[in-house]
A and B are shown apart, each in its own frame.
Chain A
Amino acid sequence: MNDHAIVVEGLEKSYGSVRALCGVDFAARTGSILGLLGPNGAGKTTAVRVLATLLEPDGGTARVAGLDVVKDAGALRARIGLAGQYAAVDENLTGFENLEMVGRLYHLGKAESRKRAQELLERFELTDAAKRPAKTYSGGMRRRLDLGAALLARPPVLFLDEPTTGLDPRARIGMWETIEARVQAGTTVLLTTQYLDEADRLADSIVVVDHGRVIATGTSDELKDQIGGERLEVELEDSGDAEPAISALAELAQDRPSADGTTLRAPVRARPGIIPDAVRRLDAAGVGVVDIALQRPTLDDVFIALTGHAAEEEPADEAPQREEVTAA
Chain B
Amino acid sequence: MSSLAVTIEDSLILARRNLMRIPRQPDLLIAYTVQPVMFVLLFVYVFGGAIQTPGFDYVDFLMPGIIVQSIAFGGFVTALGLSEDVTKGLIDRFRSLPMSRAAVLAGRTSSDVPLNCLSLAVLLAVGFVAGFNMTTGAGDIALGILLLLFFGYAFSWVFALVGLYSSTPETANAIGFTAIFPLTFASGIFVPAASMPDGLRQFAEANPFTTVTDAVRHLWLGTPANTDVWMSFVWCTAILAVFAPLAVNRYRTVAAR
Taking Cβ atoms with an 8 Å cutoff, the residues of A that contact B are: 49, 52-55, 74-75, 77-78, 80, 82, 84-93, 97, 101-102, 104-107, 133, 149, 326-328
Contacts and interface: CB of A to CB of B under 8 A. Distances in A.
Contacts of B255: 49, 54-55, 326
A108 B24 CA distance: 27
Interface string B87-108: 0111011111111000100000
A91 B10 CA distance: 20
B98 A77 contact: yes
Contacts of B88: 86, 88, 91
B21 A92 contact: yes
Nearest to A92: B21
B257 A326 contact: yes
Given A54-B92, A92-B24, A101 B17 contact: yes
B contact residues, range: 20 to 34
Given A327-B256, A328-B257, A84 B89 contact: yes
B96 A106 contact: no
Given A88-B90, A92-B20, A102 B96 contact: no
A14 to B, nearest CB: 14
Given A55-B255, A93-B21, A326-B257, A80 B99 contact: no
Given A104-B13, A326-B256, A90 B97 contact: no
28 contacts: A52-B92, A53-B96, A55-B255, A77-B97, A77-B98, A77-B99, A82-B93, A82-B96, A84-B256, A86-B88, A89-B90, A92-B20, A92-B24, A92-B25, A101-B13, A101-B17, A102-B97, A105-B10, A105-B13, A105-B99, A107-B1, A107-B98, A107-B99, A133-B24, A149-B93, A326-B257, A327-B257, A328-B257
Nearest to B23: A92
Contacts of B17: 90, 93, 97, 101
Contacts of B90: 88-90
B63 to A, nearest CB: 33
Given A91-B88, A326-B255, A328-B257, A102 B93 contact: yes
